[in-house]
Amino acid sequence: MTGSVDKTSQIWGRVPPRNKNFTGRDEVLNDIREKVNQSATAVMPHALHGWGGVGKTQVAVEFAHRYRSEYELVWWIPADQHLLVPSALAGLAPLLGLPEATVTGIEEAAGSVVDALCRGVPYRRWLLIFDNADRPEELNELIPRGPGHVLITSRNHRWDTVVDTIAIDVFGREESVQFLRRRLCGALDEHDADRLAEAVGDLPLALEQAAAQAENGLSVEEFLRLLRERTAQLLSEGKPTEYPLSLTATWSIAVQRLGEASPAAVELLRHCALLGAEPIPRDLFIRTHSGLESAVGGLLGDPIQLSRAIGELARYALARLDPARRTIEMHRLVQALIRDAMPEAERERGRHTVHLLMASSVSQKPDLKSTWQRYAELVPHVEPSQMAESEHPEVRRLGVDIVRYLYVSGDPKSARVFVELFLEAWRTTAAPDDPLVPVARRLRGIILRGLGDYELARAYNRETLDMLAALPDPDQDEVLQLTNSIGADLRAHGDFQAALEQDEDLLGRHLDRYGERDQRTLRVMNNLALDYGLTGDFSASRKLLIEVYRLKTAAESEVWPASRLMSWNGLARASRLCGHYVEAVDLGRDAAAWGTDELGPDHPAVLLNAKDLAIALRQVGETEEARELAARVNAQYLALFGPGHPDTLCARMALANILRTLGRAEQAYELCSDAYQHYAKTYVEDHPFIQGSAANVALLRRVMGDAEGARAMNATALERLEARLGRDHLYALAVLLNLASDHAALGRFASAIELERDALARLERILGALHPMTLACAANLSVDLEHGDPPDEGSALFQQTMRQYEETLGTAHPDAVVAQKRRHLDFDFDPPPI
């Protein structure tokens, strides 16, 4: 349910159904209501705190239903997985009149929702319920403080340092008796209900299980006898004291009775207890595996027995079924109790079984989007099942695939957590020649680089390559893939020529080994196109990317969506750099629509495309659209990766350049200076991107009236770029032309003309006479030549340049308009991906 208009509340969304057996708790509900209503302005959130099984969630559900008429908006947020909370919040965006997550991305939409609730716009009377929120450090910033109310259910006592807490205790005896009699439709008299309530300590979850046993035909006397016997047994076995004894004993009776009805269901229950508390896919128990030794194997492949066993779990109140989602869900406390009761050897066998079931439940690699739903269902069960401890090769392969799924689906932060979890576990258990260790290490290097840890990734990948080289018979496929990844490390280090030379060699080796249609070959071709762009050969980059895109499109079913999108966007970028601005916009728009549909608006590949599209829009004069798009992308990157991530810096620089074009120099300077400072911390000292960002700052200094400060800064940047890349590199030539404009602004026309003549000769040789950068250089030179000798040389060059603008971009293009006004054109830096 995504929310609906209702007589009693305008928005009512995702709140669980009211429990028809809810009993008592009037004092608690009144206490909650009184506390949340203490202030008419910003109200402190309140956490309902108590041990597992005490009924915190049921109290919150009842509160929402009982007082819904007092709120304009009521929204329920499952918070046991903190990574999913932004998505739940983002679902409110369109209902608050805000852009949907499909437009802005989940993080930005969630942030907008929190901001709107804090301001009380458009609703002041709202209630948000965060259920099972056991990680205050992860969720506190997502909880709005405003005129509405927030309830949090949690077992984590640390909430008391963050919000006001309300203790939820066990039932009072009268409530327990009332609950049991209502639950059993009056079939239990008050005396027997009192005896049961006393025996289970008035714990709501234990009472529910006791009622389930009574429904299944267990008499009160038999229940109490079993409870006494089990209590003595459990005490003698030293059960952990973190759980109420009443629940432990009641659970023991429930499992005993389940075993009498269906031994297979007990086996299923125990295996479910070894997984996570998140919904368990029912299909996990459909496929069999040759390595299974557990009794649960008898249920696999037998849909009748499996359905019967699953039904028994629900009948004995040991699990909750969701037929629509085809999932099984157990209370985390019941899972813990069941695990604790299993002998260690049995737990180990059970874990091995669930690991094999997880591995056999995925038949395809995670590169294809069609597999992502299944991988997403498995992720919450990796840590609880201790999957990283498995030494089975199929299970380890699943671990690697889960890491890759997280990365290719756009969640590099989680991918890093999991790959490091696996590698740490394998450090002591994997054989020296285990083929999956270098694969996982290569993935970790890619993830580190994707998160902006360039130098750490570079050192780590070199270490992995040395490790492979030390093996007596290294996997040559893995060596080639790792070497290809190291090409990105070279680019990140600023070694553009070395990356080009390595990738040209790699392409030949890949073609010989795999052919041109293999995905590994296509990755090398894509990277080589990046190398061409970074070394200034835009035409070669575009030509190669046309071929890559053609091959990837022909093999669409085998190409993961982000890979196709990156090549598509790379082609749009190469077209822009070649001066084909309209073509770049058309390609960028098509890629943006396709990528958003396939991957969602906040996938890193989609954001990269949006950033490049904003740059292309500026180049065709659609500056306001470019600004809106660049501002949104900058905010999304900031929310996803933080201020110092290289992709955030690229987006910030693109936005700054667009703002400067719109005449907002001071705002652009603030963004540009911030990005420059972060570039200096992110890259090695002499990296070309640092000098490029410095040149952008210098350009803005001149625009704001400090021509001398700009000149000094550009002179330093040019010197460093020439030392690293040579004067023929286009980064150096762009800075050289800005330096010439600095001299012109200072009245030093002879120096400006000398620099511009040098640049023009180089640009005509490198890019051709009709490239926009060449034309801009010629236009600037024609302006400054009016101060030279003879002055008519400038007029002739101007007339020639305007004819060339008419032949290429058209006289209405922004560059041609500036040239026609006899003003200098500026050259800014938009950092490309590496």
- Asked if residues 230 and 252 have their Cβ atoms less than 8 Å apart, the reply is yes
Helical ranges in 620-766 per DSSP H? 623-641, 646-661, 665-682, 688-703, 707-725, 730-745, 749-766
- Report d(CA 271, CA 261) in Å as an integer: 18
| Domains in the chain, CATH or no CATH each | 11-167 (3.40.50.300), 362-493 (1.25.40.10), 697-703+713-834 (1.25.40.10)
pLDDT at 783 (0 to 100) = 95
**DSSP, residue by residue, 567-603:** HHHHHHHHHHHTT-HHHHHHHHHHHHHHHHHHH-TTS
Please give the sequence-ordered ranges of beta strands (E in DSSP) within 358-422, or none if there are none.
none
pLDDT at 590 (0 to 100) = 97
Cis peptide before 790 (omega within 30 of 0): yes
> Residue 339 is encoded by which pair of tokens?
């695990």
> Residue 342 is encoded by which pair of tokens?
């299993």
Residue 39 burial (CB count, 10 A): 10
pLDDT at 237 (0 to 100) = 45
pLDDT along the chain (834 residues), means of 10: 43 84 80 77 70 78 92 90 82 88 78 92 92 83 89 79 81 85 83 84 76 79 74 45 57 78 88 90 79 64 83 79 84 76 90 92 85 92 94 95 92 92 92 90 95 93 93 91 94 95 96 92 95 95 95 77 93 96 97 92 92 96 95 90 90 96 95 92 89 96 96 96 94 97 96 96 96 97 88 90 95 95 94 85
pLDDT at 233 (0 to 100) = 53
- Asked if residues 493 and 454 have their Cβ atoms less than 8 Å apart, the reply is yes
Angle in degrees, 0-180, between the axes of helices 581-599 and 604-619, rounded to the nearest 10? 160
* Predicted confidence (pLDDT) per residue in 36-95, tens digit: 887 544 456 888 876 566 778 889 999 999 999 999 999 999 887 777 788 889 889 989
pLDDT at 43 (0 to 100) = 55
- Asked if residues 661 and 623 have their Cβ atoms less than 8 Å apart, the reply is yes
Name the strands in the sheet holding 280-281, side by side, starting at the edge strand that comes first in the sequence: 280-281, 327-329, 320-322
pLDDT at 790 (0 to 100) = 75
Task: Name the residue type at position 52.
Answer: G
Backbone angles phi, psi at 513, to 5 degrees: -90, -40
Tally of CA atoms within 13 A in the half-sphere of 567 that contains its CB: 25
> Residue 576 is encoded by which pair of tokens?
């822009």
pLDDT at 261 (0 to 100) = 82
Contacts of residue 665, defined as CB under 8 A and 6 or more positions apart, other chains included, come to: 659, 700, 703, 704
> Residue 146 is encoded by which pair of tokens?
């405003």
pLDDT at 135 (0 to 100) = 79
